[in-house]
Chains A and B, each alone.
Chain A
Amino acid sequence: MRQFFPVEDLARDERFVQTNMAERMKDGRTAIDVKESSAKSRGASKRLTPERHDASDAARGLMHGIMVGEIQALEGAGRTAHDFAAGDGTNDTVPFELKLDMARQAWDEARHVEISAKLSDWMGTELGEFAENTVLFEAACSNDPILRLAGVNRALEGLAIDVFTQMKEFGDVAGDPYLEFCEDWMLADEVTHVKMGSDWLRKVTANDPERRTKALEFQQVVDKLFSFGGARGESAESSFSLAKRFRELAGFTDDEVQTISQMDAEALEERKEAVRKYRERVGADV
């Protein structure tokens, strides 16, 4: 069986259309208020809550993003279980128990795909209705299994913790019993997946500080990408926030949480600056 699958070769049927981060960032439109002098943004808070006028559609879009994210997480965990031989963790090998954890994660993600597809149906969304951003799987394409753990288990699954916490709260406030219940159960799995990543990263790199540093640096790059230009963050302009408590449970240190929070804020400002420049270039009202 083939190893090391590139993102372009992911199998999808004709319902799905894929895009990537570079394409998404070419979009000069934004829901964020980029006018520094303006006190009030277009729709005030962008936080995904039922109080938003477009709450149902915003929740549908995010749920579709979760569904395709789960497909990619399944593909990523499956690849890591398969792509590397069992060994002591050196020379492109991984401990056999790590492979077992990846297999268990693939099983969990497959269940999440089914749950998310059913939730999408419940919310009135067709599979493939929204473009699929393949940035999540791209984090699972490294040749070093430890970088994959940093990118997928810690960054991607960490993002899942943040998003599921927001969706669970949305379901709770809106009174949607299925959404609240399903997100809660999936959230519990995600905390476990992040914890697996944190534990294996420490174990496998215990005697290789350079590799650990490289993995953590890679995680920061991925984390910044996953803040989607400030969609995640503490600001009311962000759709969802960093779920600090659950991240602690998953093995993130206070410093790590603080660093991600800071990167989210930077990503928001960078996105605003990029939009401002784009608008100046096309002669639009900045």
Chain B
Amino acid sequence: MSDLTTRAASPTSTAKVTVIPEEFTFVRYDAAEIASIVAELAEQLEIANPIRVVVDETTPLAKVYEEIDAASSDATITLHAESGALEDRKHPMSFSATGARESLGRVLLRAHDRMRSDFADAPGDLDLTLAENAAWDTYCSGRLARMGVETNQQRWRYNHRNRFGFDDGIDVAFDALWNADDLAWSDIVTTAGG
């Protein structure tokens, strides 16, 4: 499989971003545009690690997850995205820079979290329960919104309610997670359920 590699131009981040595949067949996506978006996000988060973005263009589903070799600044971060996560929902098979920023930003934040020692106990993305996954998404989406990335809070509130319940106590927990910074993995889990 071919890939496309780019380096962030920023003086504060030297993240090298590789996108796989380099050319898309099923969707009208541009690997260079994806690399540039990820490089921008990495710059904002001051992440200098090498980053691989692997897009599964054969499915319209929208799962995203990340893997990181080790909790160190030279470890490779791999962001996996099904094509639906980067898609313009008004124009199927077309790319949405806004959607890509939101989806890839969320998992890049997770990778950023995993470099902290108080996230050592966090299960791998594919081993998270649906509730753990939703809680972490809430925490990441709130921070993304404060970074200036376009995010629909109600979408994530609904996702949180689906996993934890439809009551006022859960909404308070959602607000606490959404507005939080600097949490440890155990804080996310305990805060989420109210």
Q: Give the distance in Å from the alpha carbon of A111 to the alpha carbon of B2 in the complex.
A: 52
For A128, the chain B residues whose CB sits under 8 A away are: 90
Least CB distance, A130 to chain B, in whole angstroms: 5
Of B5-13, B38-46, B152-160, the one touching chain A: B152-160
Whether B62 lies near A54 (C-beta < 8 A) is: yes
Whether A29 lies near B83 (C-beta < 8 A) is: yes
For the A-B complex with A27-B26, A56-B155, A177-B166 known, give 18 more contacts whose Cβ atoms are closer than 8 Å: A17-B90, A27-B92, A28-B25, A29-B60, A31-B60, A54-B61, A54-B62, A55-B162, A57-B159, A60-B155, A124-B152, A124-B155, A129-B89, A131-B90, A131-B91, A176-B166, A282-B26, A283-B25
Interface size on B, residues (CB 8 A): 30
Q: Which residue of B lies closest to A129 (CB)?
A: B89
Q: Give the distance in Å from the alpha carbon of A279 to the alpha carbon of B92 in the complex.
A: 18
Whether A43 lies near B89 (C-beta < 8 A) is: no
Judge whether A92 is part of the interface by a CB distance below 8 angstroms. Answer: no
Residues of B within 8 A of A (CB): 25-27, 57-63, 83, 89-93, 130, 133, 152-159, 161-162, 165-166
Interface size on A, residues (CB 8 A): 40
| 30 A/B residue pairs, CB under 8 Å, sorted by A | A27-B26, A27-B60, A27-B93, A29-B26, A29-B57, A31-B60, A31-B61, A42-B59, A43-B61, A43-B63, A54-B62, A55-B162, A56-B155, A57-B62, A57-B155, A59-B162, A61-B89, A123-B154, A124-B153, A124-B155, A124-B156, A124-B157, A125-B155, A129-B90, A131-B89, A131-B90, A131-B91, A176-B161, A176-B162, A284-B25
Q: DSSP majority for the A interface? A: loop
Q: Give the distance in Å from the alpha carbon of A55 to the alpha carbon of B159 in the complex.
A: 8
Least CB distance, B85 to chain A, in whole angstroms: 10
Judge whether A204 is part of the interface by a CB distance below 8 angstroms. Answer: no
Whether A130 lies near B162 (C-beta < 8 A) is: no
